């Protein structure tokens, strides 16, 4: 299932900046926004409630990782807040992921982080003591995520084909690291354009700075959306 709206990463430090950004969009333009740790820890649940009051869908990117009971209770709170999508670390285990599903319910989209893209294979092998390739570890976690009854994973666009092959076509792949053609990649290393991400089967793309830092964020968003849906 491909979501037609690119998910905008609201990587802002405070409520005022977020509000000023969202107010630039026409009222009838309902967005899909990603609220991460920085903004959530700065503002708390009011930023979720605010985005929902504007009619936007919210992906709360908090990457929960704790004992199953704690994760289940936290997820029940997020469900009450009306969060549309959220995530956990697959490393928390199948029991934790099942508990997350129970707490969050079946309505929203619940996905897992496999290996963070900032983790290198060498780091994984030495620090986590996992003696396999990074690609194998990602696939292992994706399969366990599916087994736990979650909807999908956050992954690099380059991993989508292998993950769908190992799980199923409708296993959700949400991919950050997207840059429209002609835009500086910045600190993102292996980027893809929205059109390429669509080609390889991403279900959701996450785009931050190319929209949030653009001189005209609305125009930048519409251009990316058009490329994603072309
Ligand atoms: O500004 P940019 O488009 O690079 O933002 C991408 C968003 O996706 C940020 O919120 C970043 O934390 C997140 N992200 C990522 N790569 C991952 C996982 C999350 O860029 N592997």
For residue 188, is pLDDT > 90?
no
Model pLDDT, residue 82: 97
3-state secondary structure of 107: coil
Model pLDDT, residue 182: 80
For residue 76, is pLDDT > 90?
yes
For residue 117, is pLDDT > 90?
no
C-alpha distances in Å from residue 143, one per residue of 58, 123, 140, 152, 204: 25, 22, 5, 9, 19
Q: What is the mean pLDDT of residues 32-50?
A: 98
Model pLDDT, residue 183: 82
How many residues are present in the chain?
A: 230
When the pLDDT of each residue in the chain is averaged and rounded to a whole number, the result is 96
- Contact predicate 131/81, CB 8 Å: no
Decide: 117 in ligand 1 pocket, CB within 6 A: yes
Beta strand residue intervals within 24-97, DSSP E = 32-36, 57-64, 85-89
Spatial distance between the Cα atoms of 155 and 163, rounded to a whole number of angstroms: 9
164 is annotated as an active-site residue: no
Q: How far is the CA of 194 from the centre of ligand 1 (A)?
A: 14
3-state secondary structure of 209: helix
Model pLDDT, residue 186: 81
- Residue of 9, 38, 210, 211 to mutate, ligand 1, most atoms within 8 A of C-beta: 9
Q: What is the mean pLDDT of residues 207-229?
A: 97
CA-closest residue to ligand 1 atom 8: 176
Q: Locate tokens 């835009």: which residue?
A: 183
CA-closest residue to ligand 1 atom 2: 208
Q: Which residue in the list 19, 34, 52, 63 is annotated as catalytic?
A: 63
Nearest-Å Rg of the Cα atoms of the chain is 17
Ligand 1, atom nearest to 11 Cα: 10
Model pLDDT, residue 33: 98
- pLDDT band (50, 70, 90) for residue 85: very high
- Contact predicate 153/168, CB 8 Å: no
For residue 189, is pLDDT > 90?
no
The string of pLDDT tens digits covering residues 123-172 is 999 999 999 999 999 999 999 999 999 999 999 999 999 999 999 999 99
pTM higher than 0.85 for the full model? yes
DSSP string computed for 174-205 = EE--B--TTS--TT-SS-B-HHHHHHTT-SEE
């Amino acid at each position: 299932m491909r979501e037609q709206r690119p998910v905008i990463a609201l990587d802002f430090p405070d409520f005022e900046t977020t509000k000023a950004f969202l107010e630039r969009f026409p009222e009838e333009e309902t967005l899909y926004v990603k609220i991460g740790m920085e903004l959530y820890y700065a503002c708390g649940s009011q930023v979720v409630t605010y985005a929902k009051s504007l009619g936007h869908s919210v992906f709360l990117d908090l990457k929960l990782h704790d004992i199953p009971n704690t994760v289940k209770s936290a997820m029940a709170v997020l469900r009450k807040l009306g969060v549309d999508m959220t995530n956990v670390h697959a490393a928390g285990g199948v029991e934790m992921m099942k508990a997350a599903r129970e707490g969050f319910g079946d309505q929203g989209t619940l996905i897992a982080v496999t290996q963070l893209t900032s983790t290198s294979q060498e780091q994984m092998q030495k620090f986590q003591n996992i003696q396999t390739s990074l690609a194998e570890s990602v696939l292992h976690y994706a399969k366990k995520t599916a087994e736990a009854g979650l909807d999908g994973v956050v992954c690099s666009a380059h991993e989508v084909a292998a993950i769908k092959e190992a799980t199923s076509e409708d296993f959700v792949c949400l991919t950050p690291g997207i840059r429209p053609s002609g835009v500086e990649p910045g600190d993102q290393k292996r980027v893809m354009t929205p059109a390429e991400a669509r080609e390889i089967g991403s279900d959701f793309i996450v785009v931050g700075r190319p929209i949030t830092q653009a001189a005209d964020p609305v125009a930048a968003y519409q251009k990316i959306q058009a490329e994603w849906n072309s």
